[in-house]
Amino acid sequence: MQLPPAVHARLAGGPGAAEPLPVERSPKAGAAPFRFTARQVRFPREHEFFEDGDVQRHLYLQDVLTQVAGAPERPRVPEFTCQVAGCCQVFDALEDYEHHYHTLHRNVCSFCKRAFPSGHLLDIHILEWHDSLFQILSERQNMYQCLVEGCTEKFKTSKDRKDHLVRRHLYPADFRFDKPKKSISPATPRATVQVSAEALGAEGEQAEGDAMEVCSEPAGERHMAGRRIPPTICFGQGASRGFKSTKKRNKHQ
Amino acid sequence: MWLRRRGCLRPAGCGVEELRRRRREREAALRKARREQQLISKRLLRDDAPEEGEGGCVAVILGQAEIQQFLQLAQRGTEEKERERALVSLRRGLQHPETQQTFIWLEGSMRTLVGLLTSNQALLQLEAARCLHELSHSEQSAVAEACLPATSYLLTYLSGHSSDFIELCLYTLGNLIVESEAVRRQLLPQGIVPALAACVQSPHVTVLEALGYALSQLLQAKEAPEKIIPSVSAGSSVLGSTLPQHMLQLLQPGPKLNFGVAVEFAWCLHYITCSQVNNALLITHGALSTLGLLLLDLAGAVQRTEDAGLELLACPVLRCLSNLLTEAAVGAVGEQMQLRDERVVAALFILLQFFLQKQPSLLPEGLWLLNNLTANSPSFCTSLLSLDLIEPLLQLLPVSNVVSVLVLTVLCNVAEKGPAYCQHLWPGPLLCSLLGTLAFSDTEVVGQSLELLQLLFLYRPEAAQAFLQQSGLQALERHEKEAQLQDRVHALQQTALHG
């Protein structure tokens, strides 16, 4: 297909529309038995007109799949230690360090040193755990905000929020970034006093320091593995969930 | 700017013929899938070096006991490196479908994996995410759906900061999204759209490309036009979010344009526009002018590099423009928003030339745009004439019947505007070409040729004379018996003979 040089020149030129030649139609144009009318055409999603282009698109997606050795190996550097005070993790690749830093040191609560996966969750945590004004306000109005970004609902209690997360947003009932605050008040009903059993020694995490805390299963909720902890079993404030061996519990998770 | 991030690599030991054969097979499979409306493709992110001395990466099949062992080591190992290595071994095993099956049916395995995914050990987290990614890539629904317990966490991590990790989560989510409507019915209430919208501000090109991929999978879903795209409730739908503006920003030509990113978002935009949900909204965000400028940029790139990958971006851009143009005509949109720049026509022809050489199957799509540009626009029709593009257009006639019909339709668009236009169509090569197309056996091609002849004879009677002199009547006679054509053939015969 030969293109006149004017075309390339025009592309390189400035914007502008051609001055149209005068339009003059005769009523006989397109009259029966002829049928032509100039019209724009749309094609809906599944139209076969798109078949070729769609197939090319998916070949491309699949092609990316077959690249294996092409990606360069991560450059190794001489071992170095994380510079954050108290952390002695050692690295030999920068990308590993980046992820470590963002996971453990970036969104850390300055009050209790817990680390969170995002600034959003950290902000909510500080508000709900360390802001005394929050406690006062929450007695009068709904202050517990939904964790899902884009959802503007607020709730009276942490439990109500959890119910909302489970029912409305299909979150797991044991979502690990939604812990009710540990209460030390004796007036608090038993159901809300819980120590995160899983935080103690479960899956290698420590409860103190900068661990991301795991929310243990409040009584009566549907547990992922189908276990139910009867509401009457609660071994007092500050104690772990008694004789139930945590090892055994983890094995079945 | 136009360099692609990753090169395409061939598996070792494959000859060119073998590759072509495999590609043809894959293409046939994809065509079949599309006709059944089951077009699913998943993207796998793997950066393991292949085993030395072997033909390729051989995934190890792990048995139940081994999987359990690795999981326990990962969970409870005393040394960090040991725990990491256990997960790496598990991940390698999970590259094999059999291991995947064994894994998902092993009680507690997914729960343990999710526990590792959310642990406080960053590198374990990363490896656990890679394991999930392998699972998400499976062709078997049961395996991919077994990943559902992890989705709320994958979405939570999208608001984090570690770009590699986010990229991994995005590709995993993208694979899961495309798996089934059941998966999407969980992901949508979990807030996938706002989570994706939050990622679009990332400065990392790799994250953006992954985001585009995931979003394109979401938008390709069958239920997308009703449930995912419309702004029914703000914030939870694509059009109700900030995604459209950001998408268009990422498609603007300039030094920051990244090819891989642009390809993904152009496809996203295509799935939105062809759903015809609210294209007027896109136009108010400047979609027509952005895409028009991108088309110009593409034509420029084609002139410089002849890179065979450019059609991957050209295709969705052409489609979006074609569909959006139909909106602009219908709605009451301001003058500035409509596409008027003549350079678009020049760019389109440069792309048509490129398609002819590299990807002829895309010619119909390019000509579709040309139809939508010229149908109601005297200005664009004039451009075709003043830039001498009639002859190049005619050179496309022999390609295929579909292409011929489209070429003839565009020519009709020009001719129907009246005598001032037909004056430039004849004298010229057009009549000769029409005598050629009249010899085609395809009824639609011949039918469109007859329409064009009618317009030509009407506005340029001298052309009828020339037609007669070039044995036009005999060319018409061939089709006198054809039911679809005879009335028009007869009418033309009359016009030619009697004026």
Question: In the structure, what pLDDT confidence band is assigned to residue B415 with cuts at 50, 70 and 90?
Answer: very high
Residue in B149, B271, B416 nearest the CB of A224: B149
- The pLDDT tens digits of the residues spanning B392-403 come to 999 999 999 999
What pLDDT, in 10s, does the model give residues B78-117?
A: 888 899 899 999 999 998 999 999 999 999 999 999 999 9
pLDDT at B181 over 60: yes
Split at pLDDT 50, 70, 90, the class of B18 is confident
In the stretch 131-190 of chain B, residues with CB closer than 8 A to chain A read 149, 152-153, 156-157, 159-165, 186, 189-190
Residue A242 has pLDDT above 60, yes or no: no
CB contact under 8 A, B156 and A171: no
Give the minimum alpha-carbon distance from A112 to chain B in angstroms, rounded to a whole number.
15
User: Which chain A residue has its CA at the smallest distance from B326's CA?
Assistant: A40
Between CA B21 and CA B202 the distance in angstroms is: 40
Q: Mutate which of B41, B51, B68 to test chain A, going by most A C-beta atoms within 10 A?
A: B41
Provide the ipTM: 0.87
**Which residues on adjacent β-strands are paired with residue A80?**
A91
Mean pLDDT of B299-311: 83
Chain B residue at shortest CA distance from A11: B343
Residue A7: which of B410, B421, B350 has the closest Cα? Answer: B350
Q: Which amino acid is at B157?
A: Y
Assess B64–A contact: CB distance below 8 Å, yes or no. no
Can you tell me the distance from the alpha carbon of A108 to that of A196, in angstroms, rounded to the nearest whole number? 19
**Residue A60 dihedral angles phi and psi, to the nearest 5°:** -65, -45
Please count the residue pairs, one from chain A and one from chain B, whose beta carbons lie less than 8 angstroms apart.
354
| Residue of chain B with shortest Cα separation from A47 | B35
Tokens 């040394």 map to which residue? B79
Please tell me the least confidently modeled range out of A48-62, B6-20, B100-114, B285-299.
B6-20
Phi, psi (deg, nearest 5) at residue A92: -130, 15
**Among A186-200, B35-49, B121-135, which is the least confidently predicted range?**
A186-200
pLDDT at A64: 57
Lowest-confidence pick of B14-18, B162-166, B420-424, B476-480: B14-18
Cβ proximity of A157 and A144 under 8 Å: yes
pLDDT of residue B372: 96
Contacts of A57 in chain B (CB under 8 A): 267, 312, 315-316
Angle among Cα B131, B137, B143 to the nearest 5 degrees reads 80
Q: Which of A56, A59, A61 best probes binding to B when mutated, by most B CB atoms within 10 angstroms?
A: A61
| Residue whose C-alpha is closest to residue B458's, from B407, B408, B421, B406 | B421
Q: Are strands A76-81 and A90-93 parallel, antiparallel or unpaired?
A: antiparallel
Q: Is the peptide bond before B427 cis (omega within 30 degrees of 0)?
A: yes
The single-letter code of the amino acid at B368 is W
Give the whole-number percent of chain B exceeding pLDDT 70.
Answer: 90
Q: Which residues of B touch A250 (CB under 8 A)?
A: 75, 112, 115
State residue A182's pLDDT score.
66
pLDDT tens readout for residues B429-438: 999 999 999 9
Nearest CA in chain A to B395: A1
8 A C-beta contact, residue B253 and residue B213: no
pLDDT band at B414 (very low <50, low <70, confident <90, very high): very high
Query: CB distance from B50 to chain A under 8 Å?
Result: yes
> What pLDDT digit, counting tens, does each position of A159-194 carry?
999 999 999 999 999 998 887 776 544 443 443 333
pTM of the model: 0.83
Q: What is the mean pLDDT of chain B?
A: 88
CA distance B287 to B268: 13
- Provide the residue type at B497 as one letter: L
Inter-chain residue contact A170 with B39, CB threshold 8 Å: no
Q: Which residue of B has its CA nearest to A35?
A: B451
- Taking the CA of residue B345 and the nearest CA in chain A, the distance in Å comes to 9
Taking 70 as the threshold, does the pLDDT of residue A9 lie above it? yes
Distance CA B161, CA A97 (A): 12
Most B-contacting residue of A28, A46, A62, A68 (CB-CB within 10 A), to test interface = A68
Length of chain B: 499
Q: How distant is the Cα of B470 from the closest Cα of chain A, in angstroms?
A: 23
b/e per residue, B391-423, with b = 16+ CB within 10 A? ebbbbbbebbebbbbbbbbbbbbbbbbbbbbbe
Residue A241 confidence (pLDDT): 40
Angle at B390 between CA B388 and CA B395, to 5 degrees: 120
Residues of B in contact with A115 (CB under 8 A): 120
CB contact under 8 A, A99 and B27: no
Q: Strand A144-145 relative to strand A154-155: parallel, antiparallel, unpaired?
A: antiparallel
Report pLDDT for B339. Answer: 79
Please spell the DSSP secondary structure of B400-460, one letter per residue. Answer: -HHHHHHHHHHHHHHHTT-HHHHTTTTTTTHHHHHHHHTT-S-HHHHHHHHHHHHHHHHH-
CA distance from start to end of chain B: 58
Asked if B74 contacts B109 with a C-beta cutoff of 8 angstroms, the reply is: no
Question: Smallest Cβ distance to A23: which of B186, B378, B450?
Answer: B378
User: Is the model's pLDDT at A232 over the cut of 80?
Assistant: no
Rounded to the nearest angstrom, the minimum Cα separation between B471 and chain A is 22
pLDDT band at B235 (very low <50, low <70, confident <90, very high): low
Query: Across the interface, do B491 and A33 touch by the CB < 8 Å criterion?
Result: yes
Residues of B in contact with A202 (CB under 8 A): 115
What confidence tens digit (pLDDT) does each residue in A23-76 have? 999 999 989 899 999 999 999 888 999 999 999 898 888 775 444 323 445 667
CA distances (Å), origin B323, targets A95, B121, B276, B280 = 43, 49, 8, 11
Is B412 an 8 Å CB contact of chain A? yes
In this complex, do A61 and B41 lie within 8 Å of one another by their Cβ atoms? Answer: yes
Which of B51-55, B149-153, B240-244 shows the lowest per-residue confidence on average (mean pLDDT)? B51-55
Q: In the prediction, which pLDDT does B232 show?
A: 56
